[in-house]
Amino acid sequence: MKAFVRRFMSSPEGIAGALVLLLLALAAVLAPIILPGDPAAIVGRPLLPPFSDASFPLGTDQLGRDVLTRLVYGAQASLTVGLSSALVAILAGTLVGTVAGLAGGLVDEALMRVVDAFQIVPGFLLALAFVSVAGPSLAVIVLAVGLGAWTGPARLARAEVLSIRERDYVASARVIGMHPAEIAFREVLPNALPPVLSLVSVIVAAAVLIEAALSFLGLGDPNAVTWGGMIAEGRNLLRSAPFLSIIPGLGLVSAVVGIYLFGEGLVEALSIRGRRA
C-alpha cells in the first residue's frame, strides 16, 4: 500500500485530480455546516450578479436564491450519484464477470450474451428510459446509471479471471479440496479486482454527466439541487444573466476533469505495480 501511494504521488495528474476531488468532497460533506441555509430559500433580490453583494458572493438566481449555496449542495447530488453508481456497476460487473470466468461453458455464454444485450444500448438512453418509467429520484438515477455501466467491469473481470484460473496457486487450491466459492473469493477475485478498479474514474465521470443531463431534461430528483437543474433553470436567461448557467457548468467541468485526472494517476500507479509484479 505504501508503494502504491508513493507511485500515485509521483503522478502530477493524479495529485491535481485528488486535490480537486478533495475540495469538492469537503464542500459537499461540510455544506450543512459552512452554508446552513436552505438552498431553496429565497434570501435576496433576484438576479444579483456575482461579487456585487458580500452576502451572496456568486449572486442570486431569478427567484432570489443563493447561487453559492445551491452550487455546493449540487456537488452533494453529483458526487453521491457518481460514487454510488460506480459502486453498483463495479459490484455487479465483478460478480458477473467472476462467475462467467470461473464457470465457463453455457453459464459463461449465457452471461456474456446478457452483457452484449446491455452493451448495445447507450448508457444515457438506458438511463433515460429507466428514469422515465420508474420516476425521477436519486436512487432511481443511481440504479439507471449502474445498469448502463456494469458491462465494462464484467468483461474486464471475466478476462482477468480466465487468465488467473489457470495459474499454479489456483490449481493448488483445487488440489487441496478448497470449495469453488472459496477459491473465487480468496484466490481469484483479489487478484482480478485491481484492473477493474481502474474503471472507477470513467464510471464516476460518466455518471456525473448523465445525472446532469437527466436533470437538465427535467428528469432529475425534484427534491434535490443539481448542477444540471441549475443549468436548465438559467438557460432562459443566458443573455441577461449568463452566470446562472456558467457557474454550475464550471462546477460540472471541474468535477469531471478532476475525476479523469485522478483516474489517470490511479491507472498509472496500478499499471506500474502490475509491471513490477
pLDDT along the chain (277 residues), means of 10: 77 90 90 87 92 92 94 91 93 92 90 92 91 90 92 93 84 81 81 84 92 92 91 91 95 93 83 48
Q: What is the pLDDT of residue 47?
A: 93
Q: What is the pLDDT of residue 277?
A: 45
Q: What is the pLDDT of residue 184?
A: 81
- Whether pTM > 0.75 for this model: the answer is yes
- CB-side exposure of 130: number of CA atoms within 13 Å? 22
Q: What is the pLDDT of residue 153?
A: 94
Q: What is the pLDDT of residue 1?
A: 66
Q: Are 112 and 99 a contacting pair, CB within 8 Å?
A: no
Q: What is the pLDDT of residue 172?
A: 85
Residue 252 corresponds to which cell in the numbers above?
460540472
Q: What is the pLDDT of residue 193?
A: 84
60 by DSSP, 3-state: which?
Answer: strand
Domain positions in the chain are 2-39+57-276
Q: What is the pLDDT of residue 4?
A: 72
Q: What is the pLDDT of residue 271?
A: 67
- Annotation: CATH topology of 2-39+57-276: MetI-like fold (1.10.3720)
Amino acid at 105: G
